[in-house]
Amino acid sequence: MTQSRPNSHPTPAGKSAPPTSRRSARQQRLANREANRRLARAATSGASGGGLRSIALWTVIALVVGAAVIGGAYLLTSKSGSGVALESPIAPRVVTPASIPSEGRTLGNADAKVTIDMWGDFRCTACFDFTMNVEPQVVTNFVETGKAKFVFHDLITIDANQPGVTESRDAANAALCAADQGKFWLYHDWLYANQSPDESPGAFTLNRLVEIGQDAGLNMSTFEPCVRNGTHLSEVAAEQAAAPSDNQGTPSIYINGKLVVAAAGANAVPTYEDIAAAINAVLNPASPSPSASPAASSSAAPTSSAAPTSSAGPTATAAPTASPS
């Protein structure tokens, strides 16, 4: 896989785009964990006797055969219209607070000074990590308090790497069908809870998307035909054309239209600290006082909003009043 990130959104025509380095990095972590497990098993069997090595060998063979059977069954049951039911959808463990006002795909105070735009894909595993670990902190500290609003946008990246697969696109359409009922964020939570952990197809077939909506409590008389007819597919396609040209794959985060670049490096997903720093820079811009050096103003913003007001403010006003006296 190439390690370079796409610097523009996938074309609406569905041409393949190189996988993002974020997904490559996640796949490498998964491969490393599996390699470590194999090394641990080998070390354990080497320290035991020949009899234990035989038992370990047959155990590994049984596990491999079992995994193949389960994988084959999953592929068979995940095809739309197969007639075989999958295991029931999983309820989300991270839930967007229903007490926060929302309008369509916008969460929070519509008049908030800060707008957080996330460009994501419901099948993207890096987006899953962000949604589980970073987004809740952002929502709690900035959206729920009315300082910012959070807007979700579709950036279809996984389908582009899997010719003939449209599950990212179909999931985006289904989420808009839920938005028709004022349930976008509820369905958003259910989608991420039920995505494939390795981005393989099958988790978001049309049948599965309908089933997830039913378990989430949506009005199926309008939701199901909306999903199956692709009612909002034109909107999903139009959004691809409107994606920022400097996006860094999925997820890409913007604060008031400016891309948040992670402090960890160009290929890293922004952390909560990265996003909080960008938000605080808008809410509490550096003081224009001549006494504040450029270095101080640039370093104060990323830490917290309290630093500029508690340190820079008193210093700037105390010095002039003290010297005349």
Instruction: Give DSSP secondary structure letters for 4-49.
Output: PPPSSPPPTT----PPPHHHHHHHHHHHHHHHHHHHHHHHHHHHS-
Given this model, what pLDDT does residue 73 score? 42
pLDDT at position 288 is 54
Residue ranges covered by each domain of the chain: 1-47+79-283
Q: How far apart are CA 85 and CA 101, in angstroms?
A: 36
CATH class of 1-47+79-283: alpha beta
Q: What region, left, alpha or beta, does residue 199 occupy, with left being phi > 0 and alpha being psi -120 to 50 degrees?
A: left
d(CA 151, CA 158): 21
pLDDT at 287: 52
Total-model pTM: 0.66
Element (H, E) at 72: helix 50-78
Task: Write out the two tokens for 176.
Answer: 């808009």
pLDDT tens digits, residue range 203-261?
999 999 999 999 999 999 999 999 999 999 999 999 999 999 999 999 999 999 999 99
- pLDDT band at residue 267 under the 50/70/90 scheme: confident
